[in-house]
Chains A and B, each alone.
Chain A
Amino acid sequence: MFRICQLLLLTFCLAIGSYARSSTGDSVLVILDPSLSKDNFSIFFKGLEEQGYELTFRAPKDVAPAIMQDDVASFAHVILFTPETKTYAKDITPQSLVDLLSKNTNVIFALGSKQTPLTSLAYEFSLILPPPGTPLISHFPERDTPATVIPIEVPSDHAALTSGLSPVWYSGVSFALGNNPLLVPFLNAPPESFAADTTEDSGADALVEAAEKGGEGLWAGKDMSVVTGFQTIDGGRALFVGGVELFSDEFAKKEVTKGVEAGNAQFARDVAAWTFQESLVLRVDSLMHHRVNETTPRDQYTTNDRVVYTTHISKYNPKLNAWEPYSGIQDMQLEFTMLDPHIRTALPPVPGSPGTYSVEFRVPDRHGVFKFVVNYKRKGWTHLHSSTTVPVVPPRHDEYPRFLSAAWPYYIGAISTSAGFVLFSALWLAGDDRDLKKKKTAKATE
């Protein structure tokens, strides 16, 4: 009885521990190529379902369920495992997919070496794909899988990936990255790899000619990426993977070296967690501004005021499905802007108060309509934007410095005028010189 209780408790704890929900919703639409079978990706899909997502499967040419209905996204996330589909149903067009991303829906795109509408869409995201039919191959390290199945080391210091992952098996294309700062590379190709369509040593001449032809040259080296994310400004995240086999069961169960299982399953879960807005998700909870010794915000400030600006930032915790205050941002900045930033200061976290960031500064001595602007964008994290408009007026007639030392003579003059008037009136009313006059006239008449 005791052992059964222990077992139940253990499974309960495990279930809670592996539960990780997205911050934007649980419904996922998976669009699978008809040539791919759902069972080949069972580890990935079952992993998602265990975390609490609801998966709906459909083929690219199916009309229902549509990704958008009446301009509202029907699902919170979309997975497109369609590396070879050239025609889709009416609701999936490059335009509608970009629309989805701007509606805060997250999308995973799986590309392949065939030219499809998705490969042309990838150009819009600053990804430069190799010519069709040139998958990524690598002769290093020496192994008994074909040259197109490559083990790739996972970077150990990436903010969104679990550290210490074993290498992942990969098969597909690589793409060159443009210098768009919205791209978030997750996995780059190994430095000895390159894209080629030849399968024998005699294809070496073709390789050299492809490089000499000019243009982008050869897709080779460690600057080519195989898994890249894209953080849109509106919040939706996209993921581009050069080959769908990364998610397959066959690669997840393959051994990288003797006795070491590949990291495919965990890598796929981490990368899907980032795309579905579970990890590295921030939001602004509230913000406040007020003068230094007050607590309520004013609807206008005076030039040269000392003002305190406070904001509360939360980070999403996928394990608890809750937003928790987050004090880990060390380089947030506040801008006090009227057309151009007049003041840009650091907005440091307040020690002892989790999630609070506060700064005190002096309002510039120009009057006008200013904005408190917080614009925090970093690679891999959601963007934080907040803008609060506040008028700044010059001092009122009675807010200038008073009782200056230069005005002492004037104060003294005015006060002495008043004093003189009161004194004179009092003396005039109070005085009486009739007795003296009487004595004088009496003396004079005597």
Chain B
Amino acid sequence: MHLSTLLLPLAAAAAVHASALTVQNARVTVSSDATQLLTEQLSLDGTLPSLSLGPTDTLKLTFQVAEKDGGKGVQPHQTFLRFESGGEEGVQPVRVTAGGKAKFELNMAKPPSSLPPTTTEPVKVQLLLGSFKHSPSKFDLFELTVPASAPPAQHPDEASFHPLPPIEHTFRPEQKVPPKFVSAVFSALVVAPWVVLLGLWSTLQYRVPHLFSPHILPFTSSLAAFEALLLWYWVDLKLGQVLLYGAILGVVTAVTGKQALGAAGDWRLGKR
């Protein structure tokens, strides 16, 4: 705040800018191990030469800063080279003599810290001239292709501020069941004895006179009910329920069973 109040009278004095600054004799040289590969005069009229540097090449840039009208060499306050590549930026001040002569050297074997991280995109090189006494100006110099560098270091937490890659769980494969045909064949094998039994029985003459007698029927039905309860337990019931129903049914079966066996015994005695 105090500095700006200091500068106010100074700025008021320099309100009328003397002149614009211009660049003369801009020359760029690319050399590799003391052998010159390329020398170009920069015309600064909008056409940008494209240069490229290998890992051991050197780029030399020389120019002269002068007033536009008058041609006197001046040393401006700000003579910066601005490197821009794909959003990354670097600013390098250039040493200028009192007479306005400037020289800059870029050695790719030991690149300056102001060279930004680069990809395969070319680096645009711009010259910024600023001064307290003259109007500022900027010039696009050339495009430079340099070897790609390592990307800028990222904070270890940076990845969690973006969507992370999705993770899917690999489940154990479904258990394989043998083909139904095989099961059907073996089921048929299990049923086969019944076929034999029923076949042989059909040759007998067997009489069942007491089948629907009121002494026998309740017992056989409770036996059937017990088997039905077992089937029901297999499909649906829980242990507690089946024990409860089984207990009730057991009492019923015991009573009817006593009756049935008593009747069978009576018949054996009675008929005799």
Contact = CB atoms under 8 A, between A and B. Distances in A.
A431 B186 contact: no
Interface in A332-346: 333, 335, 341-346
Interface stretch (A97-105, A279-287, A400-408): A400-408
B200 interface: no
Interface string A416-432: 10110110011101111
Interface in B133-152: 133, 135-136, 138, 152
Contacts of A346: 163, 166
B74 A201 contact: yes
Interface string B159-176: 011011111110110000
A191 B114 contact: no
Interface of B: 1, 3-4, 6-8, 10-11, 15, 17, 74-80, 82, 89-96, 113-114, 128, 130-133, 135-136, 138, 152-155, 157-158, 160-161, 163-169, 171-172, 177-178, 180, 183-184, 186-187, 189-191, 194, 206-211, 213, 216, 219-220, 223-224, 227, 230-231, 260, 264, 267-268, 271-272
Contact of A221 (B10, B90, B95, B96): B90
B138 A192 contact: yes
Give the most central of A201, A304, A415: most B CB within 10 Å: A201
| CB-CB nearest 3 A-B residue pairs | A139-B130, A146-B7, A430-B211
Given A194-B80, A409-B187, 13 more contacts: A146-B8, A181-B160, A192-B136, A201-B132, A204-B93, A208-B94, A405-B177, A408-B186, A408-B187, A409-B190, A426-B208, A426-B220, A426-B223
A425 B130 contact: no
Contact of A148 (B3, B171, B180): B3
Contact of B76 (A145, A204, A304): A204
A245 B94 CA distance: 32
Interface string A352-378: 000000000010110000000001011
Interface residues of A, number: 86
Nearest to B168: A343
Contact of A365 (B92, B114, B172, B224): B172
Nearest to B130: A139
B132 A431 contact: no
A60 interface: no
A179 B158 contact: yes
Contacts of A432: 207-210, 267
Between B7, B8, B158, B178, the greatest number of chain A beta carbons within 10 A of the residue's beta carbon is seen for: B7
A227 interface: no
A144 B13 CA distance: 10
Contacts of A179: 152-155, 158
A58 B134 CA distance: 44
Interface of A: 83-84, 112-113, 135, 138-142, 144-149, 171, 178-181, 191-192, 194, 196, 198-205, 207-208, 211, 214, 217-218, 220-223, 243-245, 304, 331, 333, 335, 341-346, 362, 364-365, 375, 377-379, 404-409, 412-413, 415-416, 418-419, 421-422, 425-427, 429-434
A292 to B, nearest CB: 17
Contacts of B207: 431-433
Contact of B7 (A144, A147, A342): A147
Nearest to A417: B227
Given A145-B11, A181-B155, A202-B75, A422 B191 contact: no
Contacts of A83: 1
A144 B231 CA distance: 100
Contacts of A406: 177-178, 183
A220 B80 contact: yes
A413 B213 CA distance: 31
Contacts of A222: 89
A200 B93 contact: no
A97 to B, nearest CB: 22
Contact of B93 (A144, A207, A244, A421): A207
A41 to B, nearest CB: 13
B155 A194 contact: no
A412 B191 contact: yes
B260 A429 contact: yes
Contact of B15 (A135, A144, A147, A199): A144
